[in-house]
């Protein structure tokens, strides 16, 4: 069990005797967004791709308080313990990355390595969104999501067309219409969007202290060159905040990079793991 007795669903693959690798998805996703990485890294790791609270098969508590970032962080920390481990390699995308960065800041001893895709710490994102008008424009939806029911209404329009627009890439076949139907199956359920949107509502702040991270965790940050939601200048802020960090940008790639360019993402992760495992 996790905080507030939350039941979390996860998919696993690989040998449980091998090192633990956990995957945290973003918005609006669920464990399925890691299908390419689960297959790739289960050769060498015990892979666990979880549905975060409010998503997929995991429990969906009502209200805003259960989606505070402190509880989301505790979910991951407690899952690691429930799996009988003290450390893991964590791979996280989008909202999963915000949670992972906070976990790394508070409990650095939890990590062997941390890989962040298309994300940043809350402190870095908050500074960028208020100091960079381009990032503020790219983050318009974050402000819209604060209004009751408006986000749910907009996201469900035209048979959940948001998934077709955001994830299907002309000329690339790594995300198929059949994959999109998997997302629409889950998010087409009644009230399915409210818990994920509550992540934004519960954690939005106009100002926050720039708390400095603890520990020295090997960290890889990867962005897509054509990310519609994040400015590449966030990478520079991440470099200033964290030591022992490597960064990479995948050309001609957008926000959902682990699905759009799985081979490139997997190679970057594997190269990083090879270096940091031997160091």
Nearest alpha-carbon partner for 30 in 163, 171, 145: 163
Number of Cβ atoms within 10 Å of the Cβ of 39? 14
CA–CA distance, 111 with 104 (Å, rounded to integer)? 7
- Residue 4, helix vs strand vs coil: helix
Sequence-ordered strand ranges (E) for 156-239: 219-224
| pLDDT in the model for residue 213 | 87
| pLDDT in the model for residue 278 | 62
Domain ranges in the chain are 3-278
CA–CA distance, 200 with 130 (Å, rounded to integer)? 16
Which positions are annotated as active-site residues?
A: 94, 200, 255
- Cα separation values, 150 from 46, 64, 112, 144, 157, Å: 40, 16, 40, 7, 11
Architecture of domain 3-278: 3-Layer(aba) Sandwich (3.40)
CA–CA distance, 189 with 175 (Å, rounded to integer)? 22
Nearest alpha-carbon partner for 34 in 65, 55, 59: 55
Chunked mean pLDDT (size 10), the chain, 279 residues: 72 97 98 98 98 97 96 96 96 98 96 97 95 96 93 95 96 97 95 96 85 90 98 97 96 98 98 86
| Cβ 92 vs Cβ 100: under 8 Å | yes
| pLDDT in the model for residue 18 | 97
How far does Cα 59 stand from its chain's mean position?
18
Strand partners, 114: 90, 219
């Amino acid at each position: 069990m996790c905080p507030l007795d939350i039941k979390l669903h996860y998919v696993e693959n690989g040998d449980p005797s091998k090192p633990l690798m956990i995957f945290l998805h973003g918005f609006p996703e669920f464990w399925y967004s890691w299908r390419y990485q689960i297959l790739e890294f289960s050769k060498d790791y015990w892979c666990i791709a979880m549905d975060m609270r409010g998503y997929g098969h995991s429990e969906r508590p009502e209200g805003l308080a259960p989606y505070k970032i402190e509880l989301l962080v505790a979910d991951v920390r407690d899952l690691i313990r429930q799996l009988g481990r003290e450390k893991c390699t964590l791979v996280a995308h989008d909202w999963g990355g915000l949670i992972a960065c906070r976990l790394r800041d508070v409990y650095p001893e939890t990590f062997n390595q941390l890989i962040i895709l298309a994300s940043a710490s809350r402190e870095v994102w908050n500074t960028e969104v208020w100091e960079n008008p381009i990032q503020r424009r790219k983050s318009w939806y974050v402000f819209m999501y604060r209004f009751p029911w408006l986000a749910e209404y907009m996201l469900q329009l035209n048979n959940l067309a948001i998934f077709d627009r955001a994830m299907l890439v002309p000329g690339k076949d790594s995300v198929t219409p059949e994959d999109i139907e998997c997302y629409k199956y889950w998010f087409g359920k009644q009230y399915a969007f409210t818990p994920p949107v509550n992540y934004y509502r519960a954690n939005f702040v106009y100002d926050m202290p720039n708390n400095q991270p603890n520990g020295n965790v090997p960290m890889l940050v990867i962005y897509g060159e054509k990310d519609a939601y994040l400015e590449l200048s966030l990478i520079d802020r991440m470099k200033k905040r964290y030591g022992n960090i490597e960064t990479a940008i995948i050309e001609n790639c957008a926000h959902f990079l682990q699905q759009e360019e799985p081979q490139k993402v997997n190679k970057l992760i594997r190269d990083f793991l090879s270096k940091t495992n031997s160091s």
